[in-house]
Amino acid sequence: MLNRATLAGSTALLLMLALSAPALLSAGSPAAAYGLQDCFRAALGQSESLSITGETTTQAEMRYREAIATVVPNISLSGDLYHQYYLQGSPKSPFPAPDNQSLLRISAVQPLFQGFREYAALRATKDQLAASKQAYAWAAWQLYSDTAQVFNLVLAAEKSLSDMQSEVAVYDQRIQFLEGWFRIGRAQDTDVLSARSAQAQIKAQVEAAKYQIAAAREAFAFLTGLPADSRLSDSQALPESLSSMAVYEAELSKRPDLEAARLNVANAKEGIAIAWGAHLPSINAQADYYPYHYAPNADLNWDAFLSVTMPIFMGGSIAAQTRSAESAARQAELMLQQAQRMDLENLRSSYQKLNYDLSQGRALAEAADLADKDYRAETKNFEHGLVTNLDVLQSMVTYTNTALARDSIRYTTLSDFVSLQAQIGHVPGFTPKPEEAR
């Protein structure tokens, strides 16, 4: 027959073994465990979304180089070959055209004045390039938050499974204890059946938890590119307290997505200058050099001239383009204002949620401690015939459910903390390269 001390000692031993099992497995496994930063570095190299954003940056850089080409000289080589064949006599003319009119020409064209449109376009493409680099940094910040979410989802699911398996082991001890009492007539068969029924329900939850781990592991492998069965290191620490909301709000203005929105406003305003510049004349200087020329002009080696184009009436298209550009600039400003308000609201919401997470975690830790004491007291009272077996089982369920909630809120809090930090750019392990900064 098992006494109370034996039961308590066995239960404590099982709980200790269950809690120390991950550490024992880690010590015996040759594979290194991945921390959050390791997983984030892997995700940086794996993410197609980040690579797509990087390609967008490359395209923006090429458009900037194209814009530079509009303000520097253009040099080209051209040649013509023209020969006349006559089936009858040529008409009489004091200046007969030569039969061979071949030439080779090297031309250089320098835009002198384009209504300042070329310089506005140059500034606009530079803003686009800077905005795309900011978008790359913001995508990396978001990837860090996503990685932390999946990382902690796996850890939470595995911790939940470990807690359930420990609970199953505690039920084994409880069932063994009740069977011993049943044999000596101090417990009824319904007591044993009730304990077995409760344990069966926990075993069903264990199987569901295994599926949750498998699903979380697949999401982890997809995001990071690491093997789905990679060992993870749970070395994260909960914050003891948070800085004031004012500190987070001060950091918000530096966010890459807001900086990109501001650059989009500047880009849209340059579009007004580009459109309005079409009202002004265009002036180009051109010089030609002829290494080879046909006979009548054989002594002509070069020429140079200015070309001037002045729009007189374009059917109102220039005015329409200008008004359209002004509308686009107003739209960009409204989008910036909307992004600022939404980002501030999201930051405040995340800050409040994290505060509540921390408060709930402390409350659940206290509740789990009290539930554990209640379970131990109910076990003792049952041995003295003061309560029924159902009372003991109920206290056990209360304790295990509270312990599960306590462990679950820990990982939720860790994920929310990382998300809040990422919103203000605190992303350990990631620094944009110099060429990715404005």
**Residue 133 in contact with residue 174, Cβ under 8 Å?**
no
pLDDT tens track for 190-207: 889 988 998 999 999 999
Helix (H) / strand (E) containing 80: strand 74-80
**Residue 415 in contact with residue 152, Cβ under 8 Å?**
yes
Task: Identify the pLDDT of residue 101.
Answer: 61
Taking 50 as the threshold, does the pLDDT of residue 436 lie above it? no
- Largest Cα separation within the chain, whole Å, is 140
Task: Give Cα 119 distance to the centre of its chain.
Answer: 34
**Residue 106 in contact with residue 75, Cβ under 8 Å?**
yes
- For the domain 4-73+116-278+315-436, what is the CATH code? 1.20.1600.10
Task: Identify the pLDDT of residue 47.
Answer: 86
How far CA 63 is from CA of 58, 179, 263, in Å, comes to: 9, 80, 16
Buried b (16+ CB within 10 A) or exposed e, 74-99: eeeeeeeeeeeeeeeeeeeeeeeeee
Report the alpha-carbon distance of residue 177 to residue 171 in Å, rounded.
Answer: 10
% of the chain beyond a pLDDT of 70 = 83
For residue 209, which of 164, 246, 271 has the smallest C-alpha distance? 164
Taking 70 as the threshold, does the pLDDT of residue 4 lie above it? no
Task: Identify the pLDDT of residue 219.
Answer: 94
Taking 50 as the threshold, does the pLDDT of residue 6 lie above it? no
Task: Identify the pLDDT of residue 293.
Answer: 67
- Predicted confidence band of residue 431 (pLDDT cuts 50, 70, 90): low
For residue 300, which of 312, 308, 289 has the smallest C-alpha distance? 289
**Residue 70 in contact with residue 118, Cβ under 8 Å?**
yes
Q: pTM of the full predicted structure? A: 0.75
Give the residue carrying structure tokens 């077995």.
Answer: 196
pLDDT tens track for 257-310: 999 999 999 999 988 888 888 888 888 888 888 777 665 666 678 888 888 888
Question: How many residues does this entry show for the chain?
Answer: 438
Report the alpha-carbon distance of residue 398 to residue 400 in Å, rounded.
Answer: 6
Sign of dihedral through CA atoms 45, 48, 50, 56?
positive
Taking 60 as the threshold, does the pLDDT of residue 411 lie above it? yes
Sheet hosting strand 282-292, strand order edge to edge? 74-80, 103-113, 282-292, 302-309
Average pLDDT, the chain: 82
Task: Identify the pLDDT of residue 337.
Answer: 95
CA-derived radius of gyration, the chain: 38
Taking 50 as the threshold, does the pLDDT of residue 24 lie above it? no
Taking 80 as the threshold, does the pLDDT of residue 434 lie above it? no
pLDDT tens track for 345-385: 999 999 999 999 999 999 999 999 999 999 999 989 988 88
% of the chain beyond a pLDDT of 90 = 39
Task: Identify the pLDDT of residue 91.
Answer: 54
Task: Identify the pLDDT of residue 317.
Answer: 86
- Predicted confidence band of residue 15 (pLDDT cuts 50, 70, 90): very low
Task: Identify the pLDDT of residue 409.
Answer: 95
Taking 70 as the threshold, does the pLDDT of residue 139 lie above it? yes
DSSP E strands: which ranges in 234-345? 282-292, 302-309
Report the alpha-carbon distance of residue 269 to residue 282 in Å, rounded.
Answer: 21
- Which structure tokens are listed for 69? 């080409």
Taking 80 as the threshold, does the pLDDT of residue 34 lie above it? yes
pLDDT tens track for 58-100: 888 888 787 787 777 777 777 665 544 444 445 555 555 555 5
Interior angle at CA 194, CA 193 and CA 200, nearest 5:
85
- Predicted confidence band of residue 419 (pLDDT cuts 50, 70, 90): very high
Report the alpha-carbon distance of residue 194 to residue 55 in Å, rounded.
Answer: 63
For residue 43, which of 143, 118, 116, 132 has the smallest C-alpha distance? 143
